[in-house]
Amino acid sequence: MSNQRTMTSPRTPAGSAASRKSGYRPEVQGLRALAVLMVVTYHVWLGRVSGGVDIFLLISAFLMTLSFARKVDSGKPLRLVSHWLHLLKRLLPAVVVVVLGVLLGTWAVLPQSRWPDILDQAWASLLYRQNWLLADTAVDYYAQDHSGASPLQHFWSLSIQGQVFLLWPLIFAGAAVVRSALRRWTALDERLLNYRLLLALAFGAIFAASLAYSIDQTASNQAYAYFDTRARLWEFALGSLLALALPHVKPGRALRVVLGWSGLAAMLSCGLLLTVDRSFPGFIALWPTLAAAAIIVAGRSGSRFGVDRFLTWRPLVALGDNSYALYLWHWPLLVLALAGFGLSAPNLWQGLAIVSTSVLLAVLTTRFVEKPLRQWHWPQRGAWRSAVVIAACGALLAGPVTIWQSHMVADEAAAASQPRELTPGAAALAPENAGKPTPDAKIIPAPGAMKNEWADIDGLCTDGNVPGNPLLAGCLQNSRPDPVTKRIVVLGDSHAQQYMAALGPIAKSHGWEVVTLLKGNCRFGGESAERDAECNAFNKASSDYVLEHKPDAVFTVASLTLKDAPYETEVPQYLEGIKPFTDAGIEVVGIRDNPRFNTNMPECVQKKGTQAADCNVPLQESLAASSPLDDYRGKVPRLHLMDMSDFICADRTCPAVVGNVYVYKDDNHLTKTYVQSMIPMFEERLLAGTGWK
């Protein structure tokens, strides 16, 4: 994405001696323009990955390698520190302008619960480590609905480029040092000490190792591999190898024409013909990168039928000059527009408006930010001057981000320090509080703390609780009490996990040991065609664990809520799943599920207020009129059923806020804070329903 323009003016005549000497390749600028158009078009209208970013990565390494190889060939010093400072001085100002614009849009458009992640990503974008942040949080880059994505998510590729821009010059310098040492200390043939040959060996090794790693990681952990620099190095290495091989590859005019148009067709069709989703950046990414390589090899064909006649079209080259800024602007404008207008995807005209605005902002950013700083002579007179400019740019962004984060921390502390009687949560729905108004107070948890609202579980299973089946490697447990008066295993998905915010503290007060075997989106029950094979296998492994360890009880979620009608059903094969436990004398607790919604409930409150109809969904659109648990009664002995829905929904409404506490952390998960406010009622019903002492 970096706008590494090839040298000299576009007015240099194609094919002239000056053109060959300078290395100016206007067709590469046109190629860069097409790549950014692919990225923008696929993001805005198709909701898919195009392969355009992979082409950018290849081009950036191609141009960098040409530049450094020419320096060494001409005997010029590499001056790595000056190179890095010059590069940052060119790239960082546009980044700062765009991120500041994104922060302004975030404040104006996005709900407060999304601010902390975006501020964290602002730091990551500034420090060129966005890809690792996204990898660690398992972001789904292929999600069709971009309205909930981060407006800074696209900085992952710029971060990878920044890391490679730091690494690659070290390789160029290292190869020069190795060549000098070999010349001094060995009697090798001079042809074997060719600098470009040493570079080719280095980049060939990187290409092979990185591609093998990329294929392996994409197959086993694609969501992480997508953002993993190590899985992308081969794309840069391919660009470098292309630059080194190009002087020795001299196809005829006819072959250049065929290569150029074939490469263009393959490049443009990649995202349409290939199942790019879930398969990049493995070997499938060879398609767009080799297609771009074919276009570069075709180069200036000398034929009026060559693809270079199209790629050197002045408007396309001009767009290539603005491609860096266009990439920076298009994604945040798309995300903020969708979020602001409540859309999941733009139509044709909305998309054209987003793209047109992106192009306009890109041209303005290039004209008034990039070019003036690039042409400013003062920083060029000393490395320290460039460092001052870079530091000033960083401070321009770091200052507002730091102040904003400080305010959020203060707001979180103020909300958390309120007296408990101001934030009763579920206790406000207790019969003794019926009709009593809840006093005015800050709603807790503060929006900035919402990401910490998962129920806490102490740690990995230990000693005899460690499962033998690798499918259950995520086994967690609370700290073992002494003595243990009861052993409970929690089975299911995140809706079972959320109740650990109540069951965990209750267990500790009674001396119960609790082990959890949980898998996202995998409700516990017997084998069913309604579940995928992984979930069925996990449930089978969980069942075997229970029958092997024979705990006193198993805790499950016994109904299944849906976002749309019929809103709530029985869990597929629930009774069949628990019957082996009860036959073995193990008690089972089945709790009714909580509602799911078509909107993010805390964000609804932050946008529209606690009283908005959208944030207070009718009960008949949230749960079944008759609890599915009623159909289980009397069918299986030792099954104890719990229903806490009257402490979640009240007065025929399921609100987003109860007793000044957010009930939900998103569109279907209860907050840890709210479940904790249910502890007294939860404990009473658990003990009453089971007869436990």
- Which two tokens mark 226? 């997508």
* CA atoms of 427 and 304, how far apart (whole Å): 79
Average pLDDT over residues 169-196: 79
16: pLDDT confidence band, cut at 50, 70 and 90?
Answer: very low
Tell how far CA 425 is from the center of its chain. 32
73: pLDDT confidence band, cut at 50, 70 and 90?
Answer: confident
* CA nearest to 234, candidates 55, 67, 58, 28: 58
What average pLDDT does the chain have? 90
146: pLDDT confidence band, cut at 50, 70 and 90?
Answer: low
174: pLDDT confidence band, cut at 50, 70 and 90?
Answer: very high
Query: 439-596+629-640+665-690: which CATH topology?
Result: Rossmann fold (3.40.50)
Amino acid at 29: Q
* CA atoms of 355 and 398, how far apart (whole Å): 29
Q: So what's the pLDDT on residue 14? A: 38
Q: So what's the pLDDT on residue 114? A: 93
For the residues of 407-450, what is the DSSP string, one character each?
HHHHHHHHHHTS-GGG--GGGGGSGGGTTPPPPP---BS-GGGG
Q: So what's the pLDDT on residue 522? A: 96
138: pLDDT confidence band, cut at 50, 70 and 90?
Answer: low
Residue 176 has pLDDT above 50, yes or no: yes
pLDDT tens track for 208-265: 999 999 999 998 888 899 999 999 999 999 999 999 999 988 899 899 999 999 999 9
| DSSP single-letter state for residue 46 | I
Question: pTM of the prediction?
Answer: 0.86
Residue 275 has pLDDT above 70, yes or no: no
In this structure, are residues 655 and 597 in contact, taking their beta carbons and an 8 Å threshold? Answer: no
Average pLDDT over residues 643-665: 96
Portions of the chain given CATH number 3.40.50: 439-596+629-640+665-690
Q: So what's the pLDDT on residue 12? A: 37
In this structure, are residues 677 and 661 in contact, taking their beta carbons and an 8 Å threshold? Answer: yes
Helices vs. strands in the chain: H and E counts, helices first: 24, 13
Average pLDDT over residues 41-62: 90
Q: So what's the pLDDT on residue 377? A: 78
pLDDT: which is higher, 372 or 334:
334
119: pLDDT confidence band, cut at 50, 70 and 90?
Answer: very high
Residue 477 has pLDDT above 90, yes or no: yes
Tell me the H-state helices in 312-382.
314-321, 323-341, 348-365, 371-375
- % of residues, the chain, pLDDT over 90: 74
- % of residues, the chain, pLDDT over 70: 93
Residue 5 has pLDDT above 70, yes or no: no
CB-based contacts of 199, cutoff 8 Å, min separation 6: 65, 69, 171, 172, 175, 240, 244
State the CB neighbour count (10 A cutoff) for residue 18.
Answer: 12
Q: So what's the pLDDT on residue 276? A: 60
* CA atoms of 519 and 500, how far apart (whole Å): 14
- Please state which of the ranges 187-201, 325-339, 461-475 shows the lowest mean pLDDT: 187-201
Q: So what's the pLDDT on residue 15? A: 37
Q: So what's the pLDDT on residue 21? A: 41
Residue 141 has pLDDT above 80, yes or no: no
pLDDT tens track for 284-320: 999 999 999 999 999 888 888 889 899 999 999 999 9
Q: So what's the pLDDT on residue 6? A: 44
Tell how far CA 432 is from the center of its chain. 46
In this structure, are residues 596 and 560 in contact, taking their beta carbons and an 8 Å threshold? Answer: no
Q: So what's the pLDDT on residue 469? A: 95
* CA nearest to 121, candidates 105, 140, 107, 102: 102
Q: So what's the pLDDT on residue 13? A: 36
Average pLDDT over residues 135-159: 78
Q: Which residue has the tokens 């590729």?
A: 157
Query: Cα dihedral sign for 313, 315, 321, 327?
Result: negative
CB-based contacts of 150, cutoff 8 Å, min separation 6: 114, 117, 118, 121, 139, 335
In this structure, are residues 7 and 22 in contact, taking their beta carbons and an 8 Å threshold? Answer: yes
- Which two tokens mark 465? 């609780």
In this structure, are residues 442 and 415 in contact, taking their beta carbons and an 8 Å threshold? Answer: yes
pLDDT tens track for 496-547: 999 999 999 999 999 999 999 999 999 999 999 999 999 999 999 999 999 9
* CA nearest to 298, candidates 252, 342, 331, 338: 252
